[in-house]
Amino acid sequence: MTQPDVIADLEAEQDALEALLSKLSPADWTSPSAAAGWTNADVVLHLAQTEEAMAAAIEGGTPVDWRGYGPDVDAAMDALVRAQPGPPGEIFERWRAGRRAALAALRAADPGTPVPWVSASLKPRTLATTRLAEHWAHALDIAGPLGLDYPDTMRLRHVAWLGFSTLPYAFRLAGETPPALFCDLTAPDGSTWTFGDPAAESSISGAAGAFCRVGAQRLAPADSGLETTGRYGETALRRLRNYAST
């Protein structure tokens, strides 16, 4: 089966977010998002800053040293947002310009050359996958509290792959040996996405949207409706995160 073009799907995800943002009122922009401590404008500013940083990194500029802004990545991102406040209209235009520059840089990049990123160097396609996952998750942060519709699409295959493929890293981070695991997920169109060895003793099954939300820490495993089997299925669901993968 032909794999979808992740850069084209990143652009489509950003197009969907841009359509959502274009409908926000001034009050919507300054209302709290689901990202703790951030307004909707703060969320978009964060996306703008990271798109600008990605374009610069691909084009050979000096990578942003996130460690200079906080003790961990989350604290650094928050500090950067606090350091560059602005009117919502300007933030929206900054993100629009930043994301178009980043897409152009991704398309022009050597697909085999890793790009320096937050905690590791990533090849352009993998970097595009992480950016798609982040834009999707932050779109939920904006749409949810405002009661706006942001439906799941087949682009979530990239997010599901990212979560599954980084489970070994998540287990090692917890000081545990990564187990064999099989995922059997129902896509938004009702088709099936599978990852891993069907013969694996442990598994996770259910809606792909729920799987991706757990990985994005937007849904608790207990509330996901996902089913687990085997010795490690439940643990894997708890460990699931949409990490940037090398």
pLDDT score recorded for residue 101: 96
Distance CA 121, CA 99 (A): 20
Residue count of the chain, please give it: 246
pLDDT score recorded for residue 61: 66
pLDDT score recorded for residue 243: 74
- Please give the structure tokens belonging to residue 197: 């060895």
pLDDT by residue, tens only, the chain of 246 residues: 345 699 999 999 999 999 999 999 999 999 999 999 999 999 999 999 999 999 999 988 666 677 777 777 888 899 999 999 999 999 999 999 999 999 999 999 999 999 988 778 899 999 999 999 999 999 999 999 999 999 999 999 999 999 999 999 999 999 999 999 999 999 999 999 999 999 999 999 999 999 999 999 999 999 999 999 999 999 999 999 987 643
DSSP for 4-53 reads P-HHHHHHHHHHHHHHHHTT--HHHHHSB-SSTT-BHHHHHHHHHHHHHH
Are 214 and 226 in contact by the 8 Å Cβ rule? The answer is: yes
Distance CA 98, CA 112 (A): 23
Distance CA 113, CA 105 (A): 13
